[in-house]
Structure 1
Amino acid sequence: MTIRKIYLAAVMMLATYSCEDTNSVANVNPDEIFRQTNLFPQPPNQWMGDNNPYYTAGYVGDVMPYYENGTFHLFFLHDAKTKPAGEGFHDIHSFETANFKDFTYRGRQIPYGTASEPDFGVGTGSLVKAGNMYYYYYTGHNAVASFLSNNPRESVLLATSTDMNNWTKIKNFKITAPAGYYDYEFRDPHVFFNAEDGKYWMLVSAQTSAQKAVVLKFTSSNPATGNWTVENPIYTTTSSENYIMLECPDLFKMGNYWYLVFSENWSSNSGTHYRIASSPNGPWTTPANDRLDGSYLYAAKTVSDNANRYLVGWTARKVPESNTGGKDWAGNLVTHQLVQNPDGTLAVKPVAALSSVFGQSTSLSVDKITGNASQNGNGFNLSANSQVMFGKLQKANQISFTLNAAANGKSGLILAQDNDGKNGVKISFEPSSNRIAAYIMNGGSEDLANTYPLSGISGTTYNVTAFISNDVCVVYVNNQLAFSNRVYDVVNKKWSIFGSSAVTFSNINIKNP
């Protein structure tokens, strides 16, 4: 059974599942369709057959977006849930979308190689079109001892195509770490044509021989020649950052500014970061808040349709897959729209199509009140240490409200609550700490899981919209920031608003598809 196309419908609980191959799909469970087809998609199960355990389930890893003729091609590293011994990993698959709410799954695009080839493991890359040919540069990763005895662990490889559907690996193309750079860490090529320079640029996440993280630059007059010339790094991690790697680099111009985006996963400030400059070579300025989401959105890169620019990454899953599990690599695809502030800093807001999915308002159903709270229409005034619990949520939900928070204290919403309120995930606004935070509630204890600065939002009034699709929750605040989290067991569980100090929630609105 080969699934080449799965049309992911926007009407989420009424998702339509179809395939060009009429032998591909039979007796599909609607709940399974929903798991595969939501606002934050992940690849479908059994995409290469019922009996092959390697392909039973998978997740979205690093996303490599490309736009052409009205379609966003969202290539990604496929992370299989089950990886038998001897098999490679992280082959490149793709989704297509025109609006970031309706997705078509295109299946595998570039396979991994054998244990004796440089792409036994496939890593992040990007593609560029020159003439009638698409050039896909990607990372080859092979840590097998027999391979490492005569080869570097990582290299830049190439596949070409004339249609973005059928790719041919160019076996005689390979870029390895040049002299002065560490060949163990050399990955994530980002390629584009720089009109200001008149050349094709390739950025590579690398380390110097002294293992200092850099974004290394190569240039070429034409990808068809296969010749790339190494130049100086455009960015080197500072002594204060001291990042181990600057993964998945992306470089673009918006207005008068150039932006360098990269991700790092080894510091207390992990996530997707950005820098600002007036030149693509720097020097680079670090904004006061240099992340574009919390730590659960990773390896995000950008793509533009020449009108808007979008940030596309993945929100991490947990292992074991429960709220108390540990954050793990790969998950679901998540997209934000980028906004440029007047001072050149970046903000994010929901993609325009998200709200159109949720057309049915649901009345508020108060389950119980802890402490003191008075209701005023679709709003509540909460005294200190109070909580209002509402009825059960569905598989897809949009929750919006305006929170007038106290300068000191914590307030926000709680998801995936059981009846006694001791378990769930708390999304807390904490102005005195200048942050929004996620806590895992486990039998009365609360463990901090994720934080993001409230920088750029003045005052303590927050217009909040949370999009929840199965177990991914993205909270947007004032159309300025996003806070993505993994929240399991939302379906048929209750939710609450809370305040440790006196606060007001107004215009509370719940919508479903």
Structure 2
Amino acid sequence: MIKLKKSWAVVAASLGLIACSCSKENPETNGPSIPDSTNDKVIGIYPAPPSGWMGTTNPYNTTGWVGDIMPYFDNGKFHIFFLHDAQNKPAGQGFHAIHKFESSNLVDFTYGGEMIPFGTASQPDFAIGTGSTIKVGDTYYMYYTGHNGNASFLQSNPRESVLYATSKDLKTWTKNNSFILTAPPGYYNFDFRDPHVFFNSEKNEYWMLQSTQTESRKAVVLLFTSKNPALNDWAVQGPLYTTTDEESYLMMECADIFKMGNHWYMFFSENWGIKGTHYRIADSSEGPWRTPAHDMLDGEFFYAAKTATDGNKRYAFGWTARRLPENDNGNKEWAGNMVIHELTQAADGTLGVKIPDAVTGIFKKEIALQMQNTAGAVAANGNSYQLNGSGSEALSTFRPINGSRMIQAKLKTDNNTGTTGFIFNADNPAEQSYKIVFEPQHARVAAYHIAGGNPREITRVPFDFKANTVYDVKVVMDGTLCVVYIDGKAALSNRIYGMPGKQWGIFANGTQSIFSDLSLSGPE
């Protein structure tokens, strides 16, 4: 929920349902395809900058998108800085000014507009890249990437560098035009970005992580240290992490490091090979860094995730890409809507993600399930649905959805060779739809866009399934955003333009699946 200058009151909600019972061998309609009438407003769980935030006609003051996010928690409030990606970028002007949301609960967002503007064509921050915020004394420092790819600038300057601005209140920022940090000898100044700065209490010094490459083009997270950032005395220490030959990452963007419990974690994002946000584990901030069996918590549509904690819980902030043109066949574009996960931690130190509690609390309005169509062997008993897809696919669809909704279910399958899951844009599922597919045989959850009967993989996240094991699944929908959570361990973020106003459903193929406690809820 977004408000200009003021927070909207939280519209609360939760779940429940009225279920029906049937068993059909062939597709059959059980009622008119009418969307539910419960508050069908998109409430903005996953926000983007609103239209006309400055009330002018300048393209940079109109509708935009959330790019890389730089969250910072201070005095009971999350200050969520991000790179603003405008819909219109006039020729000759810079781009990606730093804007900000504020939130105390991660469901109500105040939009503050521009915080740090981009520079001119002759300045290093003609375009702005990712950074981070830290407080030293009574002053806040926002370190960020300066990016200038203009040919005239590159004749005597590196393309990327580190800059900073200061503030006393996290609202009014002043650039320090005398400070610039560039790639040291041995590193590539064309790609030198995403400064992540924090105070390392383990070493009693300030650390800065830089995403860059060696001169031989090997991706590294490069470490700089300082005893006092106010003195501008950052000293290079060498790589904190270097991509392995097996990984062969091109760039480890938007690196983040933090301690949670007894373990240290490093996040970074790769947008060329195995796309998405990855993480590593260590017992010390210096490493060595271990790769967990599954090093992604979400798929490639949750990108550039960085974290912040309120002192109690830690959250990962990323963005889910839009498409251009804005339909399910459009090209994936940079920037989109902000998505926030709450991190969970297993006994062995591996991480997972779940829905933030405040988001779950929005969905309090019970919405009755009305079955629309079935195919194959489907049996319903109250709010439990048994789909026997052993011979052919079993499918049950429900009336169309709009606005913001949450689906909940407990899911169990009887083997590890078949597939099961959820389907959206399901008015004509065989020809045109979007499937979230649980694939035990491949140890993953994957999403497919079906067009003309042909499936195309969109995104995936690793997950280990076991037959005859019950998994708690939640699906949050907000406009064209759809985020699936599995057992508090993994998520899969999706952009589904065909979802609003269309049927949704559940399916099983090559297995027998039970969706028990299936429910749909919306905001009150």
- Per the normalisation by structure 1, the TM-score is 0.93
2:29 is aligned to none
Match of 1:347 in 2: 352
1:41 correspondence with 2:47: yes
Shift of 1:415: 1.0
Separation (CA, whole Å) in 2 of partners of 1:396 and 1:416:
15
Structure 1 residues 9, 264: CA separation in 2 closer, same or farther (over 3 Å shift)? Answer: farther
Q: Distance in 1 between matches of 2:234 and 2:4?
A: 35
Please report how far the alpha carbon of residue 417 of structure 1 lies from its aligned counterpart in structure 2 after TM superposition.
2.2
> In 2, are the aligned partners of 1:317 and 1:486 still within 8 Å (CA)?
yes
Q: What RMSD in Å do the two structures reach over aligned CA positions? A: 1.7
Identify the residue that residue 24 of structure 1 maps to in structure 2.
Answer: none
Answer yes or no: is the 8 Å Cα contact 2:422–2:507 preserved in 1: yes
TM-score by length of 2: 0.91
- Whether 1:368 and 2:373 are equivalent positions in the alignment is yes
* Alignment length (residue pairs): 490
Aligned twin of 1:446: 455
Q: Is the 8 A contact 2:374 2:394 kept in 1?
A: yes
After superposition, residues 100-115 of structure 1 pair within 5 angstroms as 100-115=106-121
SS of alignment partner, residue 418 of structure 1: strand
Counterpart of 2:409? 401
- Kindly state the Cα deviation for residue 317 of structure 1 after the two structures are TM-superposed: 1.2
Write the distance in 1 (CA, Å) between the matches of 2:471 and 2:324: 32
1:366-414 Cα distance to aligned partner (Å, 9 max, x none): 1111122111111211122111111010211101111212422111111
What amino acid does structure 1 have at the position aligned with 2:408? S
Q: Which amino acid aligns with 2:496?
A: V
Structure 1 residue 212 corresponds to structure 2 residue 218: yes
CA distance in 1, matches of 2:397, 2:416: 23
Are residue 156 (structure 1) and residue 156 (structure 2) matched?
no
Query: What amino acid sits opposite 2:454 in the alignment?
Result: S
Equivalent residues of 1:350, 1:476 under 8 A apart: yes
2:521: which partner in 1? 511
- The CA distance in 1 between the partners of 2:320 and 2:12, in whole Å, is 19
Alignment partner, residue 25 of structure 1: none
Counterpart residue type for residue 378 of structure 2: A
Please, which runs of 5 or more residues in structure 2 have no aligned partner? 14-39
Give the aligned partner of residue 19 of structure 1: none
Match of 1:426 among 425, 435, 442: 435
SS of equivalent residue, structure 1 residue 413: strand
Distance 1:459 1:483, change over 3 A: farther
Q: Which residue of 1 aligns with 2:31?
A: none
Structure 2 counterparts to residues 17-56 of structure 1, below 5 A? 38-56=44-62
Structure 1 residue 460 displacement after superposition: 4.4
Amino acid of the structure 2 residue aligned with 1:182: Y
Larger relative contact order (Cα-Cα within 8 Å, sequence gap ≥ 6): 2
C-alpha distance 307-474 of structure 1, shift in aligned 2 (>3 A): same
Aligned mates of 1:460, 1:62 — CA distance in 2: 37
Q: CA deviation at 1:12?
A: 8.0
Question: Aligned pair 1:323/2:328, yes or no?
Answer: yes
Match of 1:305 in 2: 310
The answer on whether the counterparts of 1:425 and 1:438 sit within 8 Å (CA) in structure 2 is yes
Find the residue that maps to 1:122 and give its secondary structure: strand
- CA distance in structure 2 between the aligned counterparts of 1:131 and 1:476, rounded to whole angstroms: 40
Find the residue that maps to 2:250 and give its secondary structure: coil
Q: Distance in 1 between matches of 2:426 and 2:395?
A: 12
**Cα-to-partner distance string for 1:242-277 (whole Å, 9 max, x where unaligned):** 10111001011112111111101110x211011111
What is the CA distance between 1:118 and its match in structure 2?
A: 0.4
The whole-number CA distance in structure 1 between the counterparts of 2:215 and 2:8 is 46
The alpha carbon displacement at 1:9 in A equals 4.4
What is the identity, as a one-letter code, of the residue corresponding to 2:426? Q
Work out which of the residue numbers 70, 76, 83 in structure 2 matches 1:64. 70
String of CA shifts for 1:435-479, please: whole Å, max 9, x gaps: 111000112111111111113878643211000000111111111
1:478 lines up with 2:487 in the alignment: yes
Equivalent positions of 1:122-271 (< 5 A) are 122-267=128-273, 269-271=274-276
Partner residue in 2 for 1:291: 296
* Structure 1: distance between partners of 2:500 and 2:41: 12
Which ranges of structure 1 fall in alignment gaps of 5 or more residues?
14-32
Distance (Å, rounded) in 2 between the aligned partners of 1:477 and 1:197 = 37
What is the letter of the counterpart of residue 247 of structure 1? E
Identity %: 50
Structure 1: distance between partners of 2:208 and 2:319: 23
Contact 2:406 2:474 in 1 (8 A): yes
- Give the aligned residue type for 2:518: I
